[in-house]
Amino acid sequence: MTQPLLPGATLGMLGGGQLGRMFAQAARRMGYRVAVLTTEADSPAAQVADASTVAAYDDREAVTAFTRGVAAVTLEFENVPAAMAEAAASVAPVRPSGRLLEVAQNRLLEKEAVAGLGLPVGRFHPVVEEADLAAAAAAIPGGAILKTAESGYDGKGQRRLADASELEAAWSSLGRVPCILEELVPFVREISVVGARGVDGEVALFAPFENQHARQILDLTLWPAAVSEETAAAAERIARGVLEGLGVVGVLCVELFVLEDGSLLVNELAPRPHNSGHLTLEAAVSSQFEQQVRAVCGLPLGSPERRVGGAAMANLLGDLWADGEPDWAAALAVPGVSLHLYGKAEARPGRKMGHLTATGATRDEAEQRVQAARSALQRLTVPHA
């Protein structure tokens, strides 16, 4: 059996954003040192890490040299080139693997992988070249979403189609790059299951979170999700199936659509901690970031149990700074509310600058608290100095 990496070891993070920041905070609390490879010297993760290397993620020499200084490597986001993860793996363990990155970076490969595991997905069809247009239109003649196979997040790289007659124009508007056409699913809510799988195959799953979006960006997460026990159990079975079927070592999020009858379809995968899981920092026995540390280090996984009656998370986008500095004191006056800011210097519309979490005796109480706190942020209109 692989020996665990014990506190005192240095863990490497490819990526410098807020997910890397919260991983580093969890790792340092547990006694580890953290080094990050980031493209920006003052990135959110670099601000709290023990050491940082500034380099491009496709710089093989820099990635390899960085990996020589750490005991294991993990990933902050899935758009690190898979080849670089494989290069790092020749020096130290990389968890999750470059192979999983290849799947997660391509929506078509991802859907095919999930379907290949016998798990439920909506109808989809590749649109890689012009010859695919007619077959895709025939396969999905009604409402659909055309997405670029690679890149794209928070609604970017997508076109919504009323019917197949709009397919060719939509593909042209996306640059005629490889795409996937997905059937519009008549879902009643969106949920996600974040889970961890260890080196020894141990799996720990957080119960489903319920997610609400605004402008195709996650706006609000509520825990527990308002679904039946049967639907929650089915969601966890699907997440376990993905973690085990793809051989994940680390943390992975499975986003799912809930249909009217309670059945489920897999929407997307994220091989890392997820925005919807941020509330586990206050609401779970072990947060998603602690689980990532444990999995990467080969330690037993922590408990994913909820330790409060209910919890809620609200994203804070750069729009909140439009009229001046948000009123942090007013927000933090709301009981049960915690503030997490990511250390980003520039507040831009649509940019995730931080989040609020709230806990309560019930999910409804937590939601009311986090909504009240976010609303309170907008009361101060003093311009930046």
Are residue 150 and residue 235 in the same domain, yes or no? Answer: no
Write down the pLDDT at residue 78: 85
Can you tell me whether residue 205 is helix, strand or coil?
strand
User: What rounded mean pLDDT belongs to the chain?
Assistant: 94
Q: Which domain holds residue 166?
A: 123-183
The pLDDT-based confidence of 167 (bands split at 50, 70, 90) is very high
Write down the pLDDT at residue 153: 62
CA nearest neighbour of 124 among 105, 146, 156: 146
DSSP designation for 184: P
Q: pTM value? A: 0.94
- Taken as a whole, the chain contains a residue count of 385
Are residue 173 and residue 192 in the same domain, yes or no? Answer: no
Does the pLDDT of residue 154 top 60, yes or no? no
Does the pLDDT of residue 236 top 50, yes or no? yes
Percentage of the chain beyond pLDDT 70 is 97
Are residue 229 and residue 372 in the same domain, yes or no? Answer: yes
Which of 213-241 are b and which e, b meaning 16 or more Cβ less than 10 Å from the residue's Cβ? Answer: eeeebbebbbbbbebeeebbebbbebbbb
Q: Per-residue pLDDT averaged across 45-52, rounded?
A: 98
Residue written as token pair 């060719």: 168
Q: Which of 94, 111, 131 is the last residue of a domain?
A: 94
Q: Per-residue pLDDT averaged across 171-184, rounded?
A: 94
Are residue 139 and residue 269 in the same domain, yes or no? Answer: no
Which of 27-47 are b and which e, b meaning 16 or more Cβ less than 10 Å from the residue's Cβ? Answer: bbeeebbbbbbbeeeebbbbb
CB within 8 Å of 344: residues ≥ 6 apart: 18, 44, 351, 353
Q: Per-residue pLDDT averaged across 239-249, rounded?
A: 97
218/331 Cα distance (integer angstroms): 20
Q: Kindly state whether residue 108 falls inside one of the protein's structural domains.
A: no
The CATH code of the domain that includes 327 is: 3.30.470.20
354/222 Cα distance (integer angstroms): 17
Are residue 215 and residue 361 in the same domain, yes or no? Answer: yes
Q: Per-residue pLDDT averaged across 86-104, rounded?
A: 92
75/350 Cα distance (integer angstroms): 23
Strands 51-54 and 33-38: parallel
Q: Kindly state whether residue 115 falls inside one of the protein's structural domains.
A: no
Q: Per-residue pLDDT averaged across 156-181, rounded?
A: 92
Q: Per-residue pLDDT averaged across 163-190, rounded?
A: 94
Q: Kindly state whether residue 57 falls inside one of the protein's structural domains.
A: yes
Strands 187-197 and 203-205: antiparallel
Are residue 14 and residue 62 in the same domain, yes or no? Answer: yes
Are residue 344 and residue 264 in the same domain, yes or no? Answer: yes
Are residue 209 and residue 239 in the same domain, yes or no? Answer: yes
Write down the pLDDT at residue 383: 43
Are residue 206 and residue 350 in the same domain, yes or no? Answer: yes
77/82 Cα distance (integer angstroms): 11
Are residue 365 and residue 273 in the same domain, yes or no? Answer: yes
Structure confidence by residue, pLDDT tens digits, 22-36: 999 999 999 999 999
Identity of the amino acid at 250:
G
Question: To which H or E segment does residue 34 belong?
Answer: strand 33-38
Are residue 160 and residue 197 in the same domain, yes or no? Answer: no
Q: Which of 168, 183, 198 is the last residue of a domain?
A: 183
The CATH code of the domain that includes 179 is: 3.30.1490.20
- 237 — phi, psi (to 5°)? -65, -40
Write down the pLDDT at residue 365: 98
Structure confidence by residue, pLDDT tens digits, 266-286: 999 999 999 999 999 999 999
Q: Per-residue pLDDT averaged across 47-63, rounded?
A: 96
Does the pLDDT of residue 150 top 90, yes or no? no
Does the pLDDT of residue 38 top 50, yes or no? yes
Q: How many domains does the chain have?
A: 3
Are residue 158 and residue 251 in the same domain, yes or no? Answer: no
